[in-house]
Amino acid sequence: MRTATTVEASRGPGRETLDFVLEAEKLGLDDCWVAEAWGSDAPSVLGFLAARTERIRLGSGIIQLGTRTPVAIAQAALTLSELSGGRFALGLGASGPQVIEGLHGVPFARPLARMRETVAIIRQAFAGEKISFSGKEFEIPLPGDAKPMRLSTVPNPEIPIHLATLSPKLLELTGEIADGWLGTSFVPEGAGAYFSHLDAGLAKAGRSRADLEVCQGAEVAFARDDDELRGMVAGRKTELAFSLGGMGSAKTNFYNNAYSRQGWAEVAAAVRERWQGGDREGAAALVTDEMVLGTTLIGTEPMVAERLRVWRDAGVGTVRLYPAGETLGDRLTTLGRALDLVRAVG
């Protein structure tokens, strides 16, 4: 398996983010994805990292549809690929209505059509073609005197496009048009909830699983013994309850839907109800140990190694590690131990 991580520059001092990525590169990490969510933007951080790193692949994890036009996304991607010496991968995601509508003031409706059309327009730009597109969401150029234009940058159709998707239709689209899938909320024992849709899209395009890089992420943390592990699991329940109850709007929560499709529908619904009702402690109390352990890489070293084998056998080609730790040194130590295990698992 390849190895990756995700950073977000607005969490902690900017210098610490840089130091973490530089040291992760020295440890042999393959990829670093940069998130933006509702914090720092991804392209600015990626440009900064491109100037300071030498080998590691950098990716936007993710640029959110609706926050930029498709051509603006293509311009950023082409620029970042040039600045990094070809070490850039474009990650795109629809995000959710709370961020897109609540923060950016852009309609969230029809994410499936917007994703398909955005990727089509970006690929025209990457290929150096004159950009001309007429779809349900985008019209380029607009009717009138304007004529199709091409970007003045050097074409680069080899930039890979990864999609961060969770819903069945968007997963199918990912299999059909993307180079990679940036997944989350993943339970390997319930991987069919994702792969059945990805495989349907791959088949539609005449492709196979080998044509799609599957990148899944999880927190990694090491416990000395069962007693410490119990405390670590308990500490993660509020975080998982937030994903199930607080991510998205009162009506739309893609993380809750993903957990529901993987066998926890009743618990996910109950957690969401309590969280939305303001009972956050009650919501966290409903999260089971099994849910935490099933979606993370937390445990003793032998436990984490075994879970990595399960992830590999389920079809994960790149494992995206979120190393736990109170300090930069702690997180790098955790990351180093995890990288050693991934290499041992193969």
Report residue 62 as tokens. Answer: 């993710």
CA 346 – CA 336 distance, rounded (Å): 15
Q: Alpha-carbon torsion 70, 74, 75, 80, what sign? A: positive
Residues 270-324 have pLDDT tens digits of: 988 898 889 998 988 888 898 889 889 999 999 999 999 999 999 999 999 999 9
Please give the span between the terminal C-alpha atoms of the chain, in angstroms, as a whole number. Answer: 6
Alpha-carbon distances, residue 80 vs 3, 57, 75, 84 (angstroms): 21, 11, 9, 6
Per-residue pLDDT tens listing for the chain (346 residues):
999 999 998 876 668 999 999 999 999 999 999 999 888 999 999 999 999 999 999 999 999 999 999 999 999 999 999 999 999 999 999 998 889 999 999 999 999 999 999 999 999 999 999 999 999 999 999 999 999 999 999 999 999 999 999 999 999 999 999 999 999 888 898 899 999 999 999 999 999 999 999 999 999 999 999 999 999 998 888 888 888 888 766 667 777 777 788 778 888 889 888 988 899 989 888 888 988 898 899 999 999 999 999 999 999 999 999 999 999 999 999 999 999 999 999 8
Contact 34, 6 (CB under 8 A): yes
Contact 184, 253 (CB under 8 A): no
Whole-model pTM: value is 0.91
Beta strands in the chain (DSSP E): 2-7, 31-34, 57-60, 63-64, 88-93, 133-134, 139-140, 161-164, 180-183, 213-222, 297-299, 318-323
